[in-house]
Amino acid sequence: MEVNAARELAGARTCFVGIGLPSTAANLARRTVNPDLVLIYESGTIGSKPTRLPLSIGDGELADTADSVVSVPEMFNYWLQGGRIDVGFLGAAQVDRFANINTTAVHRGPDRPEGRLPGAGGAPEIAANCGQVLMVLRHSRRNFVGALDFVTTLGHGRGPRDRAALGLPGAGPTAVITDLGVLRPDPATAELVLTELHPGVTADQVRNATGWDLKQAPRLGVTAPPTEAELTALRALKAAAAHQDPGSRPAVGRTSSSRKDAS
């Protein structure tokens, strides 16, 4: 998942990065497919080159290694809303068939309290204004739902014309990379379609993990397994993070299942 997300950044010039899996993928891209990629974080750091995975957008490593640090209002008003960022990278708690995102709250049933999530942060502005948006999250019916409990961030609304009708300049989500494969919006309907599987995964597995009737591309591709160079770079990133935080451990390790997770 992390490796394939990094590969999607080949050729991009600037990337607005979120913490977690998006940050791992973006930093991996700088060490593999796109060494000139300019990483931009919400805290105002431009051109960060962290030697390890940052713990948050406020991690001092981002400012220490940045080409420039600007205020958050300038980051959003000039860089993001000014259309100066090619790719935005987002995670999600829930995604629907049109790549709309929920990171606000989930309903747990009549006898359980509502589950509160971290909220929007800069995600709505990222999804609205970046040239394109990449999403990365694990694939399950809990995450890929028929209807969002709350719409935090607009992906493609209810179809291909909704973004234009709202005056949103960016293309919106162009790929959703999961631990099972890759989904991309259909050009005609904007509905997410299964386009690629990871090695060893079947289309039925992906459909069974999706909360709607997932369609697949006429020609279903298979992603290339992580290369040794990609795994070496990923392990080095996570080892550096583990050295910074003794309580953590690298997620890519010595077993075949770890290799599958890394794809």
Q: What is the pLDDT along the chain (263 residues), one digit of tens a residue?
A: 999 999 999 999 999 997 788 899 999 999 999 999 999 998 999 999 999 999 888 899 999 999 999 999 999 999 999 999 999 999 899 999 999 999 999 987 777 767 888 889 889 999 999 999 999 999 999 999 999 999 999 999 999 999 999 999 999 999 999 999 999 999 999 999 999 999 999 999 999 999 999 999 999 999 999 999 999 999 999 998 776 654 444 444 433 444 445 55
Please name which of 106, 92, 102 lies closest in space to residue 138, comparing C-alpha atoms: 92
* Sign of the torsion angle spanned by Cα atoms 244, 246, 251, 256: positive
How far apart (Å, rounded) are the C-alpha atoms in residues 219 and 194?
10
Choose the CATH number for 2-262 among 3.30.300.30, 3.40.1080.10, 3.40.50.1820, 2.40.30.10: 3.40.1080.10
| pLDDT score at 225 | 95
Q: Is the pTM of this model over 0.85?
A: yes
| pLDDT score at 19 | 78
Domain limits, the chain: 2-262
For residue 42, indicate whether it is catalytic: yes
| pLDDT score at 262 | 56
Select which of 42, 61, 191, 196 is catalytic: 42
